[in-house]
Structure 1
Amino acid sequence: MTEPVTVLCPYCGASFETMADCSAGNQTYYEDCTLCCHPILFHLKVDENGKLLHLETLRDDE
């Protein structure tokens, strides 16, 4: 199950929409900013039903 989410790039500040895949439980993964192409670290937290609880985005160097 995927959910559309809007995130802010921690590098350039651009806002973009992406899809969060909640079917695999809690995850940590990288996705590049659609504008500046820097790697953004995503921390995805979901509940036991696969519903998105929290999405944190960080710079790769944090």
Structure 2
Amino acid sequence: MLPFLTVNCPYCGEPQDVAVDDTAGDQQYFEDCQICCKPMWMSVSLDPDTGEIQLSARSQDD
């Protein structure tokens, strides 16, 4: 089962839960906002020591 993390959309600012594939290591990809449908550039990183997942979202133009 994939973990869910909360991230705020860089466009509309609404928080949303996003499923993150924690088996794929560090990754970047586009995912549409569930509220305003604009593309968010998602960045996932895993701390190698703790296994903690960090998720951030930014606009397509950033």
TM-score, length-normalised on structure 1?
Answer: 0.85
- Report if the CA contact (8 A) 1:22-1:52 is conserved: no
Counting strand residues as a fraction of each chain, which structure ranks higher?
Answer: 1
User: Can you give the 5+ residue segments of structure 2 that lack an aligned partner in the other structure?
Assistant: none
Match of 2:42 in 1: 42
CA contact 1:44–1:52 (8 Å) conserved in 2: no
Which structure has greater helix proportion?
A: 1
How far does residue 46 in structure 1 lie from its aligned partner after superposition? 1.1
Aligned residues: 62
Q: 5+ unaligned residues in a row in structure 1: which ranges?
A: none
For residues 8-53 of structure 1, what are the alpha-carbon distances to aligned partners after superposition, in whole Å with 9 as ceiling and x for unaligned? 000001111110111011000111000100000011001348x343
% identical aligned pairs: 36
**What stretches of structure 1 move > 4 A for 4+ residues in a row?**
none
Letter in 1 for 2:55: L
**CA RMSD across the alignment:** 1.9
